[in-house]
Structure 1
Amino acid sequence: MKTKRPLLYFFCVLIGSALALPACAQQHKKNTQEQESPKSLDSTKTSPKASAKPAEKDLDKMLSELKESMISYMKSAEPPYTMDDIDSCEKILKVYLAAINASKNKEQGMEIVKTTVISLNALNGKTEETLIETSEREQIAEIIILASSRKGYNTVDEDITEEWREW
């Protein structure tokens, strides 16, 4: 029987949002100030290439948070999935990130998305549909969508996983 955890995740998301709100507000204020201040020709400013690197770290951080969430739930609820299943999910997503980053066009990128989603479907099926539930679905879809949007293949509001997703 599939275990549902929507209430637990609702509270986790609610608490996480409350904790993140001050940091988000501070970052917004900083971004606003940077946009309003005149641009200088100061050579100490980072180049566009240097600022692209933290974006990749954001995806890595999102993947790390997903894995931590799965491990935490596994320890508390003892679902039918194992650490090997979590590692497999992480590997599928790491391979996806590398492949989408190396892709040359939208057609190739969408084929990578399709292959990734189908692999995740198979893994989730192996775990009796318990590895990827509501919270994980949202996190995984966000990782896939965000990485592809950074290549210009879609917008961040466009769910490119839905066509093949069973989770």
Structure 2
Amino acid sequence: METLTIAQLGNPILREHASPISAGQYQSLAPFFSALQKKMQEHDGVGIAAPQVSESIRAFIVASRPNPRYPDAPLMAPTLMLNPEITWASDSMEKDWEGCLSIPGIRALVNRHSHIEVRYDTLEGKEVKTQLAGFIARIFQHELDHLNGLVFLDRADKADYYTEAEYLKQIAQG
């Protein structure tokens, strides 16, 4: 498999609506999903969507863990989510920091639903329905936006954009 390259803001693929994956394709895509997870980990990501490496398919990985980019992130096993969707979202919203591997050096405060119910398929073709909250719900919503041609800056007020250096100062101050 060729080395994956992260598409940067301005690449048209980040503005496309990704295509659903048929259950018959799941296993043939397994090597790609393994490479996608490796790419996310190389860049200290807590999630990555297939369109971010120029594959316009409805798949992403959620993998929250503390790292230099998100020191307070909760720990969870990397989870591949195929054809994901939100089936319910809370009225309560939370504004918090987001960044993106496709938009390096920029952070913004983004308002997201604090609790969501989701469904997705596993690589084995099993349907999963679950509830997500807090930071993990935020990751899911961020990655789902990628499948719908959106980036986090589309959801942020321009006054809430920060450079990475300023963001690090802000979180260090508490």
Query: Normalised by the shorter chain, which TM-score bucket?
Result: under 0.3
Larger radius of gyration: 1
- TM-score, scaled to structure 2: 0.26
More strand as a share of residues = 2
Higher helix share: 1
Normalising by structure 1, report the TM-score: 0.27
